[in-house]
Amino acid sequence: MKNYPIWKSFTVVSLVLLGIIFAVPSIIYDENSENWFLKNKINLGLDLQGGSYLLLEVQLDVLYKEELDNFVDSVRLISRDQAVKIEKIDIQENEVVVFFGNKEKIKDIRDSFFQMYRGVTLQINNNKLSIKLNDEYRKIIQDSAIKQSLEIVRKRIDESGTKEPLIQRSGKKRILLQLPGVKDPERIKDLLGKTAKLTFHIVDNDNTSALQNNLAPFGKIIVPDMYDENTKYLLDKRAVVGGENLVDAKGSFDQTEGHAVSFRFDTEGAQKFGKVTTNNIGKNLAVVLDGVVITAPRISSAITGGSGIITGNFNAQEASDLAVLLRAGALPAPLEIVEERSVGAGLGADSIAAGQIAAIIGMVLVCIFMILIYGTFGALANVSLIVNLFIIISLLGTIGATLTLPGIAGIVLTIGMAVDANVLIFERIKEESLKQKKVFQIVKNGFDRAMSTILDANITTLIAAVLLFAFGSGPIRGFSITLSLGVVASMFTALMLTNFLVYMYLSFANKKELKL
């Protein structure tokens, strides 16, 4: 072996060995292995192992609107105290404009209001008071809503029995979910699609004209029945007690009522509930979930134990899902699903099988072609190519990257492109061999001259791959990862491994002349 440094051979051989050894966990692919070594396997993306990807958007507009409604209620209360008549209230997207009957006390009203709410801009114009939500205030509402939503979503997903979910904030007002192995995405979507705001209200049975005119007086609301839209109830707007005071909820079965949800209040909730039921015996108590009345039983006696059941026309699944929702708590605002990608396990397995076949056949074709064109040198390049594949796999496994279907495409593409560096070198060697006779000099020149071209060519491909990673999403990122790893690995295998193999071959075969 002429002029081939030992340290270099050692580096090449050990890197190759590491590449092969660390590919083993991904090739064996023992799903449940706890072994520290076997755990370094490739993560399969949702499109390969099956599962659901969901992107949810928190409906912040609902919250802003709610806050504006609160403003209206407060202004009404204040002006009632001050005995000022309100002529008209105009609720716009981001502000409330209140028109008063006279403008004498408008400043007092403004000052009292300002004591209650800080993050608002108040403006008086003649008899008009406009109340506007400040940007910072909106931001506070937004941040706390997202934080709370994340927590509730996490609880609901955990309760649904999904293993290893990934739940994270995405951008300003979105939540991203990756749920591997989910078989029934519709159920998950149902669980997430409900706000699950539970409140208890006293029913007003005396004021029948309000229901007839469909016009709720101040402090009351009209709420439809869950099962029959035409049945409506007139309720106190103020809730007696709400879902936030629940400590437990379970699906249960009642001999007479069928499937139901039994619940238990915390101390505060139990006290409130006890007091209200004591004072309102004979009246009805409506259980309202997300703006509809589930049931409105008559209070026959005081309930002081702090627990009860909710009955409705539930089946077993509905009752247990409602219990899950109540345990997890209410979302601050509704969530809208803006993107969904669900793949069944069958398609995922098919994709893996097809990807493997494509990779193997592509590999065999390229190898045959290389041997046909470059003979022994082609065979040496093929060794590099195979090692290249092992290195990609082991890198994917050790950095914990996720392999997606486009990722497999990236690997197959890399197989075709990885020989490029070898081809560049061999072509240079071919040219050099016309100029001189010294075998080792030819090889050395070939590698040296090809070097800068290889670097330039691969760096441009890397630029495209990195930008793809920066701007791409989900599966496409998987493609850019395998492509980048493939490019880097192919530079190593061509410049180091092929180089090493060619020197070895020439030394041992004791070639006196070189024909390529």
Subset of 446-505 contacting another protein (CB under 8 A) = 452-453, 456-465, 467-468, 470-473, 475-476, 479-480, 483
Our finding on whether 291 is near another protein (CB under 8 A) is: no
Nearest to 29, CA basis, from 349, 383, 440, 439? 349
Round to whole Å and give the CA distance between 92 and 498.
Answer: 71
Cα end-to-end distance, the chain, whole Å? 20
Q: Which stretch binds another protein (CB under 8 A): 22-30, 105-113, 343-351, 439-447?
A: 343-351
Q: Counting Cβ atoms within 10 Å, is residue 397 exposed (0-12), middle (13-18) or buried (19+)?
A: buried
Q: What contacts 502, CB < 8 A, 6 or more positions away?
A: 377, 380, 443
372 binds another protein (CB under 8 A): yes
Q: At what angle do helices 405-435 and 376-398 cross, to 10 degrees?
A: 150
Residue 400 engages another protein in binding (rule: CB under 8 A)? no
Closest approach of another protein to the CB of residue 462, in Å? 8
Written as one string, the DSSP assignment of 36-61 is: TTTT--PEEPHHHH-EEEEEEEE-HH
Q: Which of 64, 374, 447, 503 touches another protein by CB under 8 A?
A: 374
Burial of 508 (0-12, 13-18, 19+ CB in 10 A): exposed
Nearer to another protein, 281 or 365 (CB): 365
Is 389 a binding residue for another protein by CB under 8 A? The answer is: no
Q: What is the CA radius of gyration of the chain?
A: 35
Site residues (CB under 8 A) for another protein, limited to 142-201: 185-186, 189, 193
Question: Rounded to an integer, what distance in angstroms lies between the CA atom of residue 394 and that of residue 390?
Answer: 6
383 binds another protein (CB under 8 A): no
Q: Does position 116 bind another protein by CB under 8 A?
A: no
Which residue's CB is nearer to another protein, number 167 or number 389? 389
Q: How many residues bind another protein (CB under 8 A)?
A: 79
The encoded tokens of residue 178 equal 């990756």
The secondary structure of 464-481, three-state, reads HHHHHHHHCCHHHHHHHH
Of residues 295 through 314, those in contact with another protein by CB under 8 A are none
Return the H-helix or E-strand segment holding 463: helix 439-471
375 binds another protein (CB under 8 A): yes
Choose which of 23, 42, 55, 234 interacts with another protein (CB under 8 A).
Answer: 55
49 binds another protein (CB under 8 A): no
- The single residue among 102, 313, 315, 376 that binds another protein, judged by CB under 8 A, is 376
How far apart are CB 376 and another protein at their closest, in Å? 7
3-class secondary structure, 86? strand
Q: Closest approach of Cβ 68 to another protein, in Å? A: 23
Q: Is 122 in the site for another protein (CB under 8 A)?
A: no
Residues in Cβ contact with 304 at an 8 Å cutoff, skipping those fewer than 6 apart? 270, 273, 274, 277, 278
Please say which residue, 124 or 488, places its beta carbon nearer to another protein. Answer: 488
Nearer to another protein, 248 or 350 (CB): 350
Residue 221 sits in the site that holds another protein (CB under 8 A): no
362 forms part of the interface with another protein (CB under 8 A): yes
Check binding of 511 to another protein (CB under 8 A): no
Per rule CB under 8 A, is residue 27 in the interface with another protein? no
**Nearer to another protein (CB atom), residue 185 or residue 312:** 185
> Of these, 179, 417, 442, 506, which contacts another protein (CB under 8 A)?
417
